[in-house]
Structure 1
C-alpha cells in the first residue's frame, strides 16, 4: 500500500486507515484480529480508535492485538479524547490528560502516534484545550496531534493558535466525515486545513456503508441499518437523492470491472488535502474488499461524472 505524509508534517501513514469503532461491539476480538492481520499484510499502517469506542474495549482489543498479532512498531496508532462516557463533551485540560493516560494504559503503549480532540467543547476555552495537546507532545505521550469533527472556523482557529507561538504542537490532522454522500467539508473545512497545511482523515468514506450498494433494494439483515444502535446513523443517506448518487457509483464500478466500494474509496482518497480515508469494516471480509481500492485510480472522466452527480448544490 502506498503511503502519504499527513499534511506538511513528517507523519507518514498508509493511504487507507483502519477504523475500530465497531470493535468490541459488532466486531468480535477474533474478527478484529483477522482485520488487523489483513490490513498489516497489505501494507496498512494507520489504525484509528478512540477512548469511547465500545466503552474502551476497542482500545483494549487493539492493545492486545499489538502484543499478540501485529508489532506495535509496524503501526501508526491514533486515538481520540474529549467525550465522556455519558456523552458529554469535555475539553478541559484535566479530563483530556487523564483520558490520554487511560488510553495509553488500555493500549499498553507508552505513546500514541497521533492524538486528536474528538470534538470541539464550546464550554472550555480553546486555549486550555489546546494546552493539553502541547503537554501530550512535550511529555512524549503523543508524537503528533490533531482535531476531529471541528467546523472550518474551529479548525482554523485551533491551527492558527498553535502556530502563533514557537514550541506549540501543530495541528497536523483534521478528521471529519467526507464521502460522495457528504461533501460538506469542501465548503470551509478543506480550505481551512489546506491553509493550515494539515491533512484530512475522512471518516465514513463509504457514506455510512450506503455507497457499497448494499441498501439499493432494502435493508439487509446483519447490516448497520438493521441494528438498533446504528439505524438512525445510516437512515439520512437512504433517501432518493443519495440513491441517485449510489446508482452512479454502481454504474462506474460496472464499467471499470470493480466494486462500488472501491470506486467510492478511490474517489475520496484522491481528493485535495486527503491523507487517508478511515474504513471501519464490521468484518474482515468487508475490509478485504476495501483493500482492493488500492489498485484503482479513477479515470478523469469518471471522476468528473461523480463530482457532478454528487455536487453539494444538489444535496439535501
Structure 2
C-alpha cells in the first residue's frame, strides 16, 4: 500500500486508513483483530480511533492488539479528544483541562506512552482557540503526542490554530480530518486550498458515504445495515435523498462497466485525489474491510473519474444556495 506524507511533516501514513468507530460496539475484539491483521498484510499503517468511540471501548480493544497482533512501532496511531460525556449526554469541550485529561485517558486505554497523532474532534465555541492550542503544544512538548491536528473544523479555524501553534515554535498543525466522499465534497470549497496553503495534511473519513456508496441502499434498507440500526440510522439518512440516489446510480453504472464493485469505484475516486493523505474506512466486519482493500489496485479511467466529478460537483449546490 502506498505511504503518503502527512502535510509537510516527516510523518507518513498509508493511503488507506483503518477506522475503528465500530470497535467495541458493532465489532467485537476477535473481528477487530482480524481486521488489523488483514490491514497490515495489505501494507496499511494508519489507525484512527477516538476516546468517544464506544466510550473508550475502541481504544481498549486497539490497545489490546498493539504488541500482540502488531508491533506498536509498525503502525501510526491517531486518536481524538474534545468530546466529553456528561449525565445529559455528549458535550464538546476542547478546554486545556479536558484535552489533557482526554489524552491521558486514551494513552492508558491504548497501553502506550504516546500517540502519533492527536486531533481535536470538533470545534468548541466556548473555549478560546489559544487555550486549545496551548493544550496541543503541551502534548507535543511532554511527549504525549508526536503530532497534533484538528478534525471537523472550518478553514478559518484551521488557519487560526495553525498560526497560533507556530507562534510557540515547539509544534505545528500537522493534519485536518474531515468527511469526504462523492456524496460529500464540501471540503473542496475551501478546506483543500487552506490545508495546501498551510502545509497541513488532509485526512478524510467516510470515503464510502457512510456506507451508501456501496449501493446496498438502492432498492431496500438491509436489516443488518447502519441505516436500519437505532444508533446509526440518523447518520446514514442524509444521503438517502434524490441527489444521493443519482450519485449512487452513477457509481453503480461505472462499476458495472469496469467489472468492479461500487464501493471499489467510490473508494478509488477518493484515493485518486492528490490532496488526500489518507482515506479512512470503517468496517463492521473483516469481510467488509477486505472489500475495501480490493480497491487498492483500481485506478479509474479518466472518463469515468470525470463523469463522477460532474454528477457529484459540489460547486453547483454551493451556487444554488446563493441564487
TM-score, structure 2 length as denominator? Answer: 0.95
Counterpart-to-counterpart distance in 1, 2:115 and 2:168: 23
2:6 paired with 1:3? no
2:229 paired with 1:227? yes
Give 1:191 deviation, angstroms.
Answer: 1.1
The residue correspondences of 1:53-72 to structure 2 (distance < 5 A) are 53-72=53-72
- List per-residue Cα deviations over 1:260-302 (Å, max 9, x = no partner): 1111111112214210110010111000000011111111111
Structure number with higher strand proportion = 2
Deviates more, 1:252-261 or 1:302-311: 252-261
1:206 and 1:264 in contact (8 A); partners too: yes
> Match of 1:195, SS?
helix
> Match of 1:202, SS?
strand
Give 1:213 deviation, angstroms.
Answer: 0.5
Give 1:67 deviation, angstroms.
Answer: 2.9
The residue correspondences of 1:146-295 to structure 2 (distance < 5 A) are 146-163=149-166, 165=167, 167-295=169-297
Counterpart-to-counterpart distance in 2, 1:268 and 1:198: 18
Partner of 1:114: 117
Counterpart-to-counterpart distance in 1, 2:242 and 2:63: 42
> Match of 2:90, SS?
coil
1:241 and 1:315 in contact (8 A); partners too: no
Taking only aligned residues, the RMSD between alpha carbons, in angstroms, comes to: 1.1
2:131 paired with 1:131? no
2:147 paired with 1:144? yes
Counterpart-to-counterpart distance in 2, 1:169 and 1:216: 46
- List per-residue Cα deviations over 1:178-213 (Å, max 9, x = no partner): 100001111111111111111111111110000010
Give 1:314 deviation, angstroms.
Answer: 4.6
Counterpart-to-counterpart distance in 2, 1:313 and 1:186: 9
1:153 and 1:188 in contact (8 A); partners too: no
The total of aligned residue pairs comes to 315
TM-score, structure 1 length as denominator? Answer: 0.97
Deviates more, 1:253-262 or 1:139-148: 253-262
Give 1:9 deviation, angstroms.
Answer: 1.0
Deviates more, 1:191-200 or 1:45-54: 191-200
User: Quick one: which of 88, 92, 97 aligns to 2:91?
Assistant: 88
- List per-residue Cα deviations over 1:17-37 (Å, max 9, x = no partner): 000000001111111111111
> Match of 1:79, SS?
strand
The residue correspondences of 1:35-50 to structure 2 (distance < 5 A) are 35-50=35-50
Segments of 4+ moved more than 2 angstroms: 313-316
